[in-house]
């Protein structure tokens, strides 16, 4: 894994990284999250993958991710997924 940029955001207690890595097939977010966790020595629950982009015909993927100092900081800062309303519920 080659780190292209790594900026530390002190206010939000996280590192914003852009990395490049080769995979034989399109990796899922889970595989990328495990690779980043292993590379930085963090738990996977402290990492948020923003995007995994690959070029056509290329095996190199550009990964944008956020690595938080702790899982508590991640929960406090990252937006929660919206819950769909159930029709007919009152």
Residue-wise pLDDT for 6-18, tens only, equals 999 999 999 999 9
- CB 20 within 8 Å of CB 1: yes
Classify the phi-psi angles of 42: left when phi > 0, otherwise alpha if psi is within -120 to 50, otherwise beta. Answer: beta
Tens-place pLDDT, residues 31-76:
999 999 999 999 999 999 999 999 888 899 999 999 999 999 999 9
The predicted-structure confidence for 17-33, as pLDDT tens digits, reads as follows 999 999 999 898 999 99
Q: What is the pTM of this model?
A: 0.82
CATH says 2-77 is which class? alpha beta
């Amino acid at each position: 894994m080659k780190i292209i940029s790594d900026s530390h955001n002190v206010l939000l207690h996280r590192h914003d990284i852009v990395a490049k890595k080769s995979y034989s097939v399109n990796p899922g977010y889970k595989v990328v999250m495990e690779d980043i966790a292993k590379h930085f020595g963090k738990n996977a629950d402290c990492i948020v993958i923003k995007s995994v982009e690959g070029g056509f015909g290329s095996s190199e993927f550009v990964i944008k991710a956020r690595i938080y100092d702790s899982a508590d900081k991640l929960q406090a800062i990252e937006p929660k997924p919206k819950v769909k309303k159930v029709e007919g519920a009152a």
